[in-house]
Chains A and B, each alone.
Chain A
Amino acid sequence: MDLYEIMFIQNPDLGEEDQEKLLTRFKAAVSKNGGEIIKLEDQGIKTLAFKIQKRSRGRYFLIYLEGPGSMVSELERFMRIDENIVRFVIIKLDSHITKEELMPKAAPEEQPTAEDKAEEVGE
Chain B
Amino acid sequence: MRHVIDKRVPAAPPPVIQLRSITKAYGHGDAVVHALHGPEDPETGGPLGVSLDIHQGDYVAVMGSSGSGKSTMMNILGCLDVPTGGRYLLDGIDVGHLDEGQLALVRNRKIGFVFQSFNLIPRTTALAQVELPLAYAGVRAAERRRRALAALSLVGLAERAGHKPNQLSGGQQQRVAVARALVTAPAMLLADEPTGNLDSRSTEEVLGLVDALNTTGRTVVLITHEDEVARHAKRVLRLVDGRIVSDVRQAPVDGPPPMLHGVGVPA
Partners in one complex: no
